[in-house]
Structure 1
């Protein structure tokens, strides 16, 4: 009798967890559709909304772009030097550039840019909105006929997407320049061979996969942390604390990033 009761309780908990999991992903899908609808709407870029969007894009991208690029350049210098020295010690100097480009530019930099934007911008915004939701501040704003989706969420989502794009593009270009300087030095005579090797790596398929990876990284980073705070919290206190601290959004975000990274690796090397 006790075993059957325990089994029923376990099945009931599993059912509730499954329903909550499906509901959270449905909320994310619904929120993404709303954001993309605003992105395709000309009214989101009119005279009244454009200054707020531009302000959010600048303050979320410009300060982070400077010191992220500097930090990424320093780390890139160290990694490039390690790869070059290791390749020379094994007599594989001709493969050093290809290894640097594939490991650093194709894999590490887009992933690092996405995680940086998530930890620096979107996850703190999601936690702040979730806390405002739990205290009723967002509900009071909605009662005052404030369009939260257009005035608060849409600029933050767009700034998160734009920040990932800018950080990834700028850091990839700077790493390619640093790779040339470290391997060949300050000479223009190796530029032809360098561009030939880089061009062979960045064939149309690899370039398309890299672009899609950065795009999906930016969508995941910008949408997932903010989606759950847009909807009212569950009455369960444990779920409220879980959402307020951003743990569920962080786990969901890292899961999606991992899936995108695995898919890109399969596309590049299988």
Structure 2
């Protein structure tokens, strides 16, 4: 093969890859718009659709909330103890609480909650839908007149968003309580100083950034794994994206978006 022919083949391959990459992000944007439209529609919460939505919210959140909170509390205790002992050894005890709150509550817990929901709930749902799409089950359901977006995708997306919110909120509150008990013990007399330090950390800007980070984490975790399986693909495109049907493409895209959100929040908090 001549050099010019290999360059042409390389350019064609690059062109196909670029088009497929842009198409995947366009489908994600279109799927997000459809889901948010349903979320703002009162008909999505009427008597007909409310039981299924409530079922998904409870089954995807309640079983994971208890043991994730317990595991997060145990890890938080270990990290809090490490930070406190390290601060005391360097004579920086007065900064121990601030370090604990900034490391655990602002950074680690929201990120861990988002990754947990992705690996536990939304990525397996996305893989299951991709396999159903590849086998023709979803196409058959659509031909029978079933509204897949409203009956299958919307409840799962909303349950993923709600699960991230609940796990992050409960774990952050639990870590704040454990930080107080670990540093000050079972006494109410240090509560005034504790609330003053925590209040200085959670100024309006930091609180807003934390809230936005959790919201964007939940959107990314709930939407990205399910978006690609909603659209039909021809046989050639399906074969070329067989690795995506097993969740690798969605996982890579999800982790990239989460990393960008985390970097943006760090820049907002410390620059």
TM-score calculated relative to the size of structure 1: 0.99
Aligned residues of 1:233 and 1:240 also touching (Cα < 8 A):
no
Q: Unaligned stretches of 5+ in structure 1? A: none
Residue 257 in 1 paired to residue 258 in 2? yes
Residue 9 in 1 paired to residue 14 in 2? no
| Comparing 205-214 and 226-235, the one that deviates more | 226-235
Shift of residue 242 of structure 1? 1.4
Shift of residue 241 of structure 1? 1.4
Q: Distance in 1 between matches of 2:11 and 2:240?
A: 19
Q: Distance in 1 between matches of 2:107 and 2:34?
A: 31
Aligned residues: 270
| Match in the other structure for 2:136 | 136
* Secondary structure of the structure 2 residue equivalent to 1:180: helix
Aligned residues of 1:234 and 1:240 also touching (Cα < 8 A):
no
* CA distances 1:132-168 after superposition (whole Å, capped 9, x unpaired): 0000000000011000000000000000000000000
* Secondary structure of the structure 2 residue equivalent to 1:207: helix
Q: Distance in 2 between matches of 1:268 and 1:214?
A: 14
| Match in the other structure for 1:192 | 192
* Secondary structure of the structure 1 residue equivalent to 2:235: coil
Shift of residue 233 of structure 1? 2.8
* CA distances 1:56-78 after superposition (whole Å, capped 9, x unpaired): 00000000000000000000000
| Match in the other structure for 2:94 | 94
Residue 202 in 1 paired to residue 213 in 2? no
* Secondary structure of the structure 1 residue equivalent to 2:149: helix
Shift of residue 234 of structure 1? 4.3
Q: Distance in 2 between matches of 1:20 and 1:206?
A: 38
Q: Distance in 2 between matches of 1:74 and 1:233?
A: 45
Q: Distance in 2 between matches of 1:240 and 1:118?
A: 21
